[in-house]
Amino acid sequence: MTTTTEQQQDQSAAVYLPHPRLVSPEGGRAKPWVSSMAEYEALYKESIAEPEQFWTRMATETLTWDRPFRHVTHGSLKNGDVAWFPDGRLNVAYNCVDRWALADPDRVAFVYEADEPGKATRVTYKELQEQVCSLANVLAAFGLRKGETVAIYMPMIPEAAVAMLACARLGLVHTVVFAGFSSASLAERVADARARVVITADEGLRGGRPIRTKAIVDEALQSCPEVEHVLVFRRTGSEGVPFSAPRDVWWHEAVAAQRPYCPPVEVSAEDPLFLLYTSGSTGKPKGVVHTSGGYLLGAALTLKYVFDIHEGDVFCCTADIGWITGHSYVVYGPLALGATSVIFESVPTYPDASRYWRLVEEHRITQFYTAPTAIRALRRHGDDFVTRCDLSSLRVIGSVGEPINPDAWTWYSEVVGGGRCAVVDTYWQTETGSHVITPLPGATPAKPGSATFPFFGVELAILDPTSGAELEGNDVSGVLAIKRPWPSMARTIAGDHKRFLDTYLKPYPGYYFAGDGASRDADGYYWIRGRVDDVINVSGHRMSTAEVESALICHPAVAESAVVGAPDEVTGQSICAFVTLKDSYTATDALTAELVKEVRTRIGPIATPKTLILVDELPKTRSGKIIRRILRKVVAGEADQLGDLSTLSDQSILEVLVNKVTAAL
Ligand code: 6R9
pLDDT in tens, 200-243: 999 999 999 999 999 999 999 999 999 999 999 999 999 999 99
pLDDT attached to residue 624: 76
Q: Is 516 in the pocket of ligand 1 (CB under 6 A)?
A: yes
The model's pLDDT over 273-322, given as tens digits with 9 standing for 90+, comes to 999 999 876 668 899 999 999 999 999 999 999 999 999 999 999 999 99
Answer whether 0.90 is exceeded by the pTM: yes
User: How many CA atoms within 13 Å lie on the side-chain side of 53?
Assistant: 8
Single-letter amino acid, residue 391 = L
- How close is the Cα of 344 to the center of ligand 1, in Å? 21
Q: Is 486 in the pocket of ligand 1 (CB under 6 A)?
A: no
Could you identify the atom of ligand 1 that is nearest to the CA of residue 278?
Answer: 21
Q: Is 531 in the pocket of ligand 1 (CB under 6 A)?
A: yes
Q: Is 515 in the pocket of ligand 1 (CB under 6 A)?
A: yes
Q: 248-250 and 267-268 as β-strands: parallel, antiparallel, unpaired?
A: unpaired
Q: Is 278 in the pocket of ligand 1 (CB under 6 A)?
A: yes
- How close is the Cα of 359 to the center of ligand 1, in Å? 25
Q: What phi and psi, each to the nearest 5 degrees, are found at residue 449?
A: 100, -10
CA distance 383 to 385: 6
**DSSP-derived secondary structure letter, 467:** T
Is residue 494 a contact partner of residue 275, using CB atoms and an 8 Å limit? yes
Does residue 500 have a pLDDT over 50? yes
Query: What pLDDT band is residue 3 in, cutting at 50, 70 and 90?
Result: very low
What SS3 class is residue 397?
Answer: strand
Q: Is 230 in the pocket of ligand 1 (CB under 6 A)?
A: no
Is residue 495 a contact partner of residue 287, using CB atoms and an 8 Å limit? yes
User: How many CA atoms within 13 Å lie on the side-chain side of 303?
Assistant: 38
Q: Is 428 in the pocket of ligand 1 (CB under 6 A)?
A: yes
Kindly provide the ipTM of the predicted complex, given to two decimals: 1.00
What SS3 class is residue 370?
Answer: strand
Q: Is 539 in the pocket of ligand 1 (CB under 6 A)?
A: no
Query: What pLDDT band is residue 421 in, cutting at 50, 70 and 90?
Result: very high
The model's pLDDT over 375-397, given as tens digits with 9 standing for 90+, comes to 999 999 999 999 999 999 999 99
Average pLDDT over residues 494-523: 97
Q: Is 540 in the pocket of ligand 1 (CB under 6 A)?
A: yes
- How close is the Cα of 528 to the center of ligand 1, in Å? 9
Q: Which of 13-27, 98-112, 179-193, 432-446 has the lowest mean pLDDT?
A: 13-27
The model's pLDDT over 581-635, given as tens digits with 9 standing for 90+, comes to 999 999 999 999 999 999 999 999 999 999 999 999 999 887 777 888 899 999 9
Residues facing 253 on adjacent strands: none
Q: Which residues of 34-60 are buried (b: 16+ CB within 10 A; e: fewer)?
A: bbebeebeebbeebbeebeebbbebbe
User: Which residues neighbour 457 within 8 Å (Cβ) at sequence distance 6 or greater?
Assistant: 47, 48, 51, 54, 55, 484, 486, 487
Q: Is 448 in the pocket of ligand 1 (CB under 6 A)?
A: no
Q: Is 369 in the pocket of ligand 1 (CB under 6 A)?
A: no
Is residue 59 a contact partner of residue 70, using CB atoms and an 8 Å limit? no
Report percent pLDDT > 90 for the chain: 88
CA distance 200 to 155: 8
CA distance 182 to 186: 6
User: How many CA atoms within 13 Å lie on the side-chain side of 332?
Assistant: 33
Does residue 568 have a pLDDT over 80? yes
Does residue 167 have a pLDDT over 80? yes
Does residue 1 have a pLDDT over 80? no
Kindly report the protein residue whose alpha carbon is nearest to atom 5 of ligand 1: 429
pLDDT attached to residue 625: 78
pLDDT attached to residue 646: 77
**DSSP-derived secondary structure letter, 541:** E
pLDDT attached to residue 202: 98
Does residue 14 have a pLDDT over 70? yes
Could you identify the atom of ligand 1 that is nearest to the CA of residue 531?
Answer: 24
- How close is the Cα of 531 to the center of ligand 1, in Å? 9
The model's pLDDT over 122-147, given as tens digits with 9 standing for 90+, comes to 999 999 999 999 999 999 999 999 99
Please state the separation of Cα 30 from the chain's center in Å.
30
Mutational test site, ligand 1, from 275, 278, 306, 428, max ligand atoms within 8 Å of CB: 428
Q: Is 427 in the pocket of ligand 1 (CB under 6 A)?
A: yes
pLDDT attached to residue 603: 93
Single-letter amino acid, residue 292 = S
Kindly report the protein residue whose alpha carbon is nearest to atom 2 of ligand 1: 429
Element (H, E) at 291: strand 286-291
- How close is the Cα of 125 to the center of ligand 1, in Å? 31
Biggest CA pair distance of the chain: 75
Q: 396-400 and 367-370 as β-strands: parallel, antiparallel, unpaired?
A: parallel
Mean pLDDT score across all residues of the chain: 95
Residues belonging to the chain: 665
* Dihedral angle, C-alpha 627, 628, 631, 633, nearest 10 °: -100
Query: What pLDDT band is residue 13 in, cutting at 50, 70 and 90?
Result: low
- How close is the Cα of 326 to the center of ligand 1, in Å? 13
Whether residue 68 is preceded by a cis peptide bond, meaning omega within 30 degrees of 0, is: no
Mutational test site, ligand 1, from 295, 453, 537, max ligand atoms within 8 Å of CB: 537
